Structure 1
Amino acid sequence: MLTPDEARAERRELRRRRRTALLLVAPLLAFVLFAFFAPIANMLYRSVYNPTLAELIPQTLAHLKQWDEAPLPSAETFASMAIELKKLSAERKAGVLAAAVNQAYPGASSLINSTARRMRGLDDGIAPAEAAQALRDADNRWSEPDLWHAVKRSGQVHTITHYLTALDLERNQQGEIVQRESARIYVQLYSRTLGMALAITLMCIALGYPLAYYLCRAPKRLAGVLMIFVLLPFWTSLLARTTAWIALLQPHGIINSVLLSLGVIRQPLELLYTGLATVIVMTHILLPFMILPLYSVMRGIDPGYVRAAQSLGSTPWSAFWRVFLPLSMPGLSAGALLVFIISIGYYIIPALVGGTDGQMISNIIAFHMQRSNNWGLAAALGTLLLAVIVILYWVYDRLVGARNLRLA
């Protein structure tokens, strides 16, 4: 039984240890917060934050908020647009406005750029009616209600438009969510990405499981040599390995040359810049991530279990299927989950060897970030990809159980 003084001293010591532990993990927590949670939070915010039009044409949007959905906005709205287009043309920002509106109204890019050039000679003190007429004279499309609806929708600072686009949806003039009439590519890209990731995972299982089984049963010296070959890809540049595959798969590469010389084919096979090339190269790159978890679990399985099953009358195949395979499931599930999640977000290999058919959703996200500068859509696509991964992990946890990963 502790005395009161001893109990207080023990509590003080416990608090001191907790503070020490917190100080030790504080740098790690700060790094995780800065490098993981902050970028995800920024991505989530960018996917619904769209201040472009609010910053470029604030007066026009203020008038559009009062628009009662009559056939056309008021003359003051036309005048505000004309004057703000003149200002944007002088500041060389009309192209930014054009690109933003063009996402909701195809053809708005050329319309806004040409109109902005014509508004340069507009008088600052021009009457609203004259400014409105000047805007109509610049292009007849300014008299179309659909264009103004698109400007109004694009002017919302917080919007789910990017998510609708990422799901191949859009809002019609009545505000209803409908299928996009233009190109529908994103849902197809998500399906292709998941299909290719599943194919890569299955190929890694088919190649990695037998090798891991052989490694755990081979003599130590041979197993050590084979493990070096398994780990060798980690010591080789990813670009060098991908370039080697390009040399193998190209129309006049090694594979086609050998097949042509043997008379197996008459024309070179189209292997490079296809979905098949992406699956083959990524299987090679990710195979160690399947072998290592399998090997770590298989090494801990006592061979006596299989021998005991055979001594009780089980065939070698039945003993493997009923005894060894269930015991190796933690490593198999861990490797499959690791390969599948990594392959979903891979970017470099599909960009180098995938071509059009082998592109994955990560390549489209990079395109919108680097070329089209549509960061909002890129953030929405990335958020949906994150949601897909979380849902798949939840399904995995329900069917297999993430607790099994601890055994790996």
Structure 2
Amino acid sequence: MTAVKNKVLSEKVVLHRNAFAIRGGVDYRRKVYATFLIAPLFLFLVVALVIPVGGIFWYAVSNSDLNNALSKTAEALKGWGGTELPAEPAFSALADDLRMARVAGKLPELGVRLNREKAGFGSLLRRTARKLPDAEGSGKRELLVGIDARWGDIDYWRSLYGATGIATPKYLLAAVDLQRNWDGSLTRVPAEQRVFLEGFLRTLVIAFVVTCICLAVGYPLAFILSEATGVKGRVLLALVVLPLWTSVLARTAAWMVLLQQQGVVNDVLIRLGIVEQPLELIFNRTGVYIGMVHVLLPFMTLPLYGAMKGVPKNQLQAASSLGARPLTSFITVYIPQTLPGIASGTLMVFIIAIGFYITPALVGGPDDQMISGQISRFAIQSGNWGMAAALSIWLTVCILMLLLAFGRFLRLGGSIQ
């Protein structure tokens, strides 16, 4: 009997093992199948998000070109105290690097980069490289100082020392009006160069005001749309969506024609007797607000319209039948149910508004330019990709912090995160 029981138990163990093996094989195949299903999405995120963002971060701290061009100098300056001129090997290394940079045609690029560290460095490099003899020799310190006395100025060597290295925090610090001294300490840039923090603040203020105006105008407009039915409702909805089919540049150019002193708006106001002199409606903050609100209003109205269509109409009637006044029932019953639409529209408008630069550039004045215009100027006009990337990173940080704060304020932090 014992042998029979052991045999039955062993057979059961084998069956269980086979069942687990089959189940494990099925689970494994399901996992592989699911992995293949999400692989295209993962690849898309890597190509469209991770690589570009990583490239921006790299441009913001990269110093590899300068470090490669002055590799011998960087090596010779390691351990330099910075309290007095470096020793003879540093001068010899610099002469060799300048000679090689001249042969490789990298002097103009090197001069532009070092001019950002200290004004006049580009001309110093060109003058020195032009007068350097081709033959090797000793006494490079006396030679370089003889070519240009600025090589005897320790400030130039400190700037050169601070610019060496594969990575540099220069751009990230400059984007918030800070600078790193040769000894590693941080100080604010001179008052006349403090433009970026003011630009960030101006950008946030403009985006906030535009969002508030869009909410104040878009909420009643969405309410009218949600109450309209039939042909009237479809026509009104088409009028809201229609501007999205026109480019931002075309709409902004149209506002330039309408808002100028001899434009349609001022002509109408004067003919109606509302004003006696043409108003300044363009090339100032007023023109920026008008142009941006016109562009962004549909992005506020449509989420509100979707939220309002889902509110049962009989709830306001029920509140009125219970004795609530129309305004009270609207505030306590209707508005809370449209909060998701308010949150969606507000976030969408605010984030898009932060990235505006075409409308402020065309209808705004010098004091109305947003930080996106600075990013465009550094990337396209100046070719300073490091500064453009650093400003982009800080702008992204501002957006993320505001999103988290907004989510916590509306108790929607979980869905945003």
TM over 0.5: yes
SS of the equivalent of 2:382 reads coil
CA distance in 1, matches of 2:327, 2:396: 40
- The residue that corresponds to 1:124 in the other structure is 135
SS of the equivalent of 1:301 reads coil
Cα-Cα RMSD:
2.5
Given the alignment, which residue of 229, 234, 239 partners 1:224?
234
Q: Percent identity?
A: 37
CA drift of 1:351 comes to 3.2
Contact 2:161 2:182 in 1 (8 A): no
- The residue that corresponds to 2:219 in the other structure is 209
CA drift of 1:312 comes to 1.7
Q: Are residues 1:311 and 2:321 paired?
A: yes
Contact 1:273 1:357 in 2 (8 A): no
Which residue identity does 2:107 align to in structure 1?
A
CA drift of 1:103 comes to 1.7
CA drift of 1:193 comes to 0.6
Q: Are residues 1:26 and 2:39 paired?
A: yes
Q: Indicate how the Cα distance of structure 1 residues 9 and 175 shifts in structure 2: closer, same or farther if over 3 A, else same.
A: closer
- The residue that corresponds to 1:39 in the other structure is 52
Range with greater deviation from structure 2 (262-271 or 192-201)? 262-271
Q: Are residues 1:361 and 2:371 paired?
A: yes
Which residue identity does 1:96 align to in structure 2?
E
Range with greater deviation from structure 2 (277-286 or 247-256)? 247-256
Larger Rg: 2
Q: Are residues 1:274 and 2:284 paired?
A: yes
Matched length: 400
CA drift of 1:362 comes to 1.3
Which residue identity does 1:138 align to in structure 2?
I
SS of the equivalent of 2:145 reads helix
Q: Indicate how the Cα distance of structure 1 residues 328 and 141 shifts in structure 2: closer, same or farther if over 3 A, else same.
A: same
CA-to-partner distance for each residue in 1:339-378, whole Å, 9 max, x for gaps?
Answer: 1111112233333333422221111112221222222222
Contact 1:233 1:285 in 2 (8 A): yes
Range with greater deviation from structure 2 (333-342 or 9-18)? 9-18
CA-to-partner distance for each residue in 1:175-199, whole Å, 9 max, x for gaps?
Answer: 2111112501110111011001101
CA distance in 2, matches of 1:18, 1:296: 38
CA drift of 1:167 comes to 1.0
Q: Indicate how the Cα distance of structure 1 residues 166 and 10 shifts in structure 2: closer, same or farther if over 3 A, else same.
A: same
- The residue that corresponds to 2:160 in the other structure is 151
- The residue that corresponds to 1:352 in the other structure is 362
Q: Are residues 1:284 and 2:294 paired?
A: yes
CA distance in 2, matches of 1:223, 1:396: 32
CA distance in 2, matches of 1:263, 1:286: 31
CA-to-partner distance for each residue in 1:279-298, whole Å, 9 max, x for gaps?
Answer: 22121111111111111111
Range with greater deviation from structure 2 (171-180 or 190-199)? 171-180
Given the alignment, which residue of 268, 290, 301 partners 1:258?
268
- The residue that corresponds to 1:135 in the other structure is 144
CA-to-partner distance for each residue in 1:213-246, whole Å, 9 max, x for gaps?
Answer: 1111122321111111111012223322222112
CA distance in 2, matches of 1:183, 1:260: 43
CA distance in 2, matches of 1:69, 1:299: 69
CA distance in 2, matches of 1:73, 1:268: 65
What is the 5 A alignment of 1:34-73?
A: 34-73=47-86
Q: What TM-score does the superposition give when structure 2 sets the normalisation length?
A: 0.88
Q: Indicate how the Cα distance of structure 1 residues 236 and 10 shifts in structure 2: closer, same or farther if over 3 A, else same.
A: farther
CA-to-partner distance for each residue in 1:106-161, whole Å, 9 max, x for gaps?
Answer: 33233333333333xx232232x1x3223223332221111111111111212222
Given the alignment, which residue of 199, 209, 212 partners 2:209?
199
Please list every run of 5 or more consecutive structure 1 residues that lacks an aligned counterpart in the other structure. none
CA distance in 1, matches of 2:91, 2:355: 46
SS of the equivalent of 2:367 reads coil
Given the alignment, which residue of 238, 244, 248 partners 1:238?
248
